[in-house]
A and B are shown apart, each in its own frame.
Chain A
Amino acid sequence: MTEEHLRQAAAVLSKCGFPQNRALGLTTVPIPKKFKCWAVFSSSPSSDVNTVQTTIEGETTWAFRAISSYVTVPVGLKIQIQFPDGRFLFHDLSDIRSIAGFGSWRYPLTQERLCPPGTRIIATFFDTSVGTAQAIPLLLEGSYLYNVRGGSAPSPLPSLGPRYVPGDPNQNIMAPCWAWGEGPEAPKGFKDDPGGYVYQSQVGAIDMGAATTKNLTLQIQVEPGSDCPVWSMAFNRTADSTAVGDVLVKIRNSTGYLLTDDWIRYGILNGVPFFKPWIVKANETIFVDLALIDYSGTGNVYMQAFANGGKRRRNVSA
């Protein structure tokens, strides 16, 4: 890495709207760098605790941005991570599966942690499955940050912030903003209760008996005090061991609005996020019409429906 390379990178990034420190006239160039943080527990370890210190090497500050790991079932490991500033990622030793994964399932930090050269990240592993040999390949991902003076003209709208998370590979251009728990805002005059809310229907049973109808309607009643912006519908289908059958659904609400114009297999809609919420007003009811198809055997097929959304209330101060 030469100074010329950094200047070229700064020039390119600046034209892409990369954020700059305008006051100092600096552009920060991120150069990806990963540190491995590995530990091994034998089947009869001398200690069930293993502390691994990773020293940040290099000539400039390293931004800690994500953790990748690969674990195999069964998992018997707990982990704690301490940042160079002495603070912890977890409030207690935590099952490693809470952050485990790689690629799209890696654990991204929403706020990068700056680690100056020579500082340490301390990972503590605790073996909860003594008797099973386990390896823990942990990869600490991030970038060296090089400051380069100059560069091209700054982004014309720096106050809006960058659309792209700088240098962060944990992105999906198809992800709607609310997939990260961020907006869209409730309309003016309304507010959403924190955390969202899930409405559910009763459990409906469709009997296989030849003389009985193969249709049923589930109902989800929205409470009187708030509207429900529905972000997705989910369904839970179970069946007696002697019963076989698939279920079609048709979804509407009590105003007559049809969400589906015809029967559709419930699996196609199951948990699929809507790009725009379906607003079901207070006191309205969501009806989920069911039709059993391709059925055989005896007993019942059971269905329950869920409206995954929130509670949207009128803002009394508005």
Chain B
Amino acid sequence: MYQPEFVRPPAPHGFHDEDFVHYFDEVNTPGLGVTIPAGDTVRDIQLRLETDSEFIARGISVIAAANPQFREPGGFYLSSDFMPLAQSYRNGVALAPSGTFEEQTVLFEPEIRCPQGSNFAVFFENPTSGPVALGAFIAIFGVKRRRNDA
């Protein structure tokens, strides 16, 4: 993803940031591998963040066969309804080298501060007239904010 020519504000005094990516698929989150019947939804698939430090979420990439809606750890929903992927969590596909989805990262603005061990929740809707195998990949990009003595 392009990075504007501004540095981020530094971590608060006594802390430092480390790049980190939370990645979820049907291997570590079985709910992302279900088959959704026509017109049906799956709800409240929990995406558990690591417990060792606060996580500052700054972007997300999604590949899925259904329309997602996210709820961030503070309880806020990120859209008013299920969103078609092409209009929500995919970005710049046509410009990218083949086989990548990092270019589809959609940025969180403002960033989302996630307490350690907190959860994102994702909901999916199958808007088609037939069942779909969800086959979802979700990568949440950001930094871990650690105490300097940790």
Contact = CB atoms under 8 A, between A and B. Distances in A.
Contacts of B115: none
B148 interface: no
A165 interface: yes
Contacts of B79: 197-200
Contacts of B20: 88-91
Contact of B103 (A105, A109, A171): A105
Interface residues of A, number: 67
A74 B98 CA distance: 9
B14 interface: no
A310 B77 CA distance: 11
A198 B98 CA distance: 28
Contacts of B59: 181
Interface in B48-77: 49-50, 57-59, 61, 63, 70, 72, 74, 76-77
Contact of A75 (B6, B74, B99, B110): B99
Contacts of A195: 57, 70, 72, 76, 78, 108-112
Q: What band does the interface of chain B fall in when counting residues whose beta carbon is under 8 Å from A? A: 35 or more
Nearest to B29: A92
Given A92-B28, A111-B17, A181 B108 contact: yes
B6 A177 contact: yes
Contacts of A92: 23-24, 27-28
Contacts of B3: 108, 110, 165, 168, 170-172, 175, 180
B25 interface: yes
B129 interface: no
Interface of B: 1-10, 16-25, 27-28, 49-50, 57-59, 61, 63, 70, 72, 74, 76-81, 83-84, 86-88, 91, 96-103, 107-113, 137, 139, 143
Interface of A: 70-75, 87-95, 97-105, 107-111, 113, 161-165, 168, 170-173, 175-183, 192-200, 231, 234-236, 271, 304, 306, 310-311
